[in-house]
Every structure is written in structure tokens, then in C-alpha cells.
Amino acid sequence: MTTVYFVIPCYNEEEVLPETVKRLTDKLEKLIHVGKVSTDSRMLFVDDGSKDKTWSLIEGFSSENRYAAGLKLSRNRGHQNALLAGLMTARKYCDCAISLDADLQDDINVIDQFIDKYNDGCEIVYGVRSSREKDSAFKRGTAQGYYKFMKMLGVEIVYNHADYRLMGSRALEALSEYKEVNLFLRGIVPLIGFRSDYVYYERSERFAGESKYPLKKMIKFAVDGITSFSVKPLKIIFNIGIIVCLLSIIFFIYAIVSFAAGSSAAGWASTICSIWFLGGVQMLCIGIVGTYVGKIYSEVKRRPRFTVEKLLIHQDSETE
């Protein structure tokens, strides 16, 4: 029978955790009851260096609830790294892992469908939002623009899919081979391949607490997504370079013609324009190149993406 692990990254989630544990335990018990998953299934809570009582709550749950397991990172490493840490830990114990947020925004009623698709032979199942009505107009607009932009840059991502997905152990094994430090999981997972499918769901409001993704983090995440997966910006620089060269030839011809006509002193405006224009283009290009150089820098350092401090998992040999 399938052993499933729910992997839930948590950063300062004390307000929502008790309810999350309650609902997920309920879900897991039902799945076990109908014989869909084995009793070895667990919910693995990854504490991403929370500053509140999140870890002590997880410790408490893991001592009283046999299905609750905990993994504590030594400090805050961000959602994507916490998720990776959880998946790479779960991989050793499970047949498939489902990643979801701690705030109950992802509809847990579709978990049955995830598991059905896995049992039908899918190695990766993507949770896709069927609508974005509950988002603010700003979030909806920026998110959709972003997906389109990514597509234009040739990045393969699943439209309206965040990190609510099922991955089988083979997919997780493949994921472990991706050694990059600037993690953007929703870009990596489609690269893995295997048979995959989609499950549609409505995303609800956060159950309690505040978003741990302020605008600043979101922009960094969006930029990471582009610069880790697309070299098109470099090609654009090349194209701008060609265009600027062509323009300068035209300027050159213009300058010679006006010199011959005896009106070369009137060139002040065009000179100042081109200085500003070229200065701007150069700065922009250097900025883009710099972003990539920065990436190379962090990739070659090969720093560990997470450091595990503790691991709490009930295993039958210990509890029975």
C-alpha cells in the first residue's frame, strides 16, 4: 500500500498549526481507513527557523500524535529550501510526498485525487488553481503577467501551479540530483519529466496568521525564477548591442552630412542624447550581466542549502 508523507514548511505558524494538524490528521486517518494509504504515512512539519513557538508545538504534536513528524532547520532558509529539506527527508521513508502550505490555503480535499493519480502511475501530480478570484487584483495581475513573461523567456512552468504537488520517490530521487542553490522548485520539477498529471482546486484564504511572503521576498523569488532558468536576457543584451551599433552608424552618417552642410555646431542636442542613451543601455546591460555573475558566484560556492538540527519521526519499532 502507498505510504504518503505530507511535507509542510512552517515559518512562524503557531497561530495556524493546531488547526492544520487537526485537519491533516483527520484526512490521513480517513485515507488509512478507506485503505488508500498505509499506516506508515506521516505529516512532516519542517520548522524553517521560526522565531515563535512553532517548533515546540511540533515537538508536542509529534509526542502525542503518531502521524505527526518534525524536522527543524538550524535557521530560516526560506520556503523553497525548507520544502526541499522536507522532501529530501521524506524520500527515505515514503512512496510519494505531497507538499503543501501550513496555512490551509491549499484545499486538502483533493488529496484523494492526488493519490489516485499516483496509483494510476503518475510520478508527479501538480495542484493547479482553478481560479484566482480570491486574490487581490494586484496579486492576480502580477502573477498572471509573470507566468506569461516566463513562458516568453522559454521557462517551462505550470500555469497557476504553486507548490501544492505530489512527487513519487523516483521524482524525488531525480530532484535530489539538482544541486542548484537558487532554488525555484516550480521551474525544476517540470524538468524532471516522468508521467505527470494535474489536479484542480480552489485556493482559499489563509486560515490564520499573516503571509510570510512580503512583496520584497516575492520579487526576489520572481527574479530567481527568471535568472535561474532563462538565458534569454543575455540574448536580449546581444540584440540591444546590435541595434545600438546600427543606430550609431546612422548618427555617424548624420554627423558627416551636417558637417558637410556646415551646420555641425548644432550637434549639442544629439550628443547629449546619445551620451545619456548609451550610458543607460550600458548600465542596464552591466546590471543584467552582474545578476548572472552573482548566480555563478553562489553556484560555484556549493554551500549546503539547509542544515538539519533535529529529526523527529515515529517509527513502529519505537512506538509499539
Binding site for ligand UDP (CB under 6 A): 9-11, 13, 48, 76, 78-79, 82, 101-103, 105, 206, 211-213
Question: Dihedral (C-alpha) 113, 115, 118, 124: value to the nearest 10 degrees?
Answer: 80
Q: Which three cell numbers stand for residue 207?
A: 486560515
CA-to-CA dists, residue 317 to 2, 42, 209, 313, angstroms: 19, 15, 37, 11
Q: Which is closer to ligand UDP, CB of 213 or CB of 259?
A: 213
With CB under 5 A as the contact rule, the residue among 105, 122, 127, 229 that binds Mg ion is: 105
Question: Phi and psi (nearest 5°) for 139?
Answer: -65, -40
Give yes or no for a contact between 129 and 160, defined as CB atoms under 8 angstroms apart. Answer: yes
Q: Which is closer to ligand UDP, CB of 215 or CB of 273?
A: 215
Q: Which does 48 bind (CB under 5 to 8 A by kind): ligand UDP, Mg ion, none?
A: ligand UDP
Q: Which does 164 bind (CB under 5 to 8 A by kind): ligand UDP, Mg ion, none?
A: none
Q: Which does 102 bind (CB under 5 to 8 A by kind): ligand UDP, Mg ion, none?
A: ligand UDP
Contacting Mg ion within 82-101 (CB under 5 A)? 101
Q: Which is closer to Mg ion, CB of 103 or CB of 163?
A: 103
**Residue pointed to by grid coordinates 495581475:** 141
Q: Which does 14 bind (CB under 5 to 8 A by kind): ligand UDP, Mg ion, none?
A: none
Residue 207: name the closest of 48, 19, 47, 23 by CA: 19
Q: How far apart are CA 279 and CA 86, in angstroms?
A: 47
Position 32, amino acid = I
In the complex, the smallest distance separating the C-beta of residue 259 from ligand UDP, rounded to whole angstroms, is: 60
In the complex, the smallest distance separating the C-beta of residue 252 from ligand UDP, rounded to whole angstroms, is: 52
| Contact residues for Mg ion, defined by CB under 5 A | 101, 103, 105
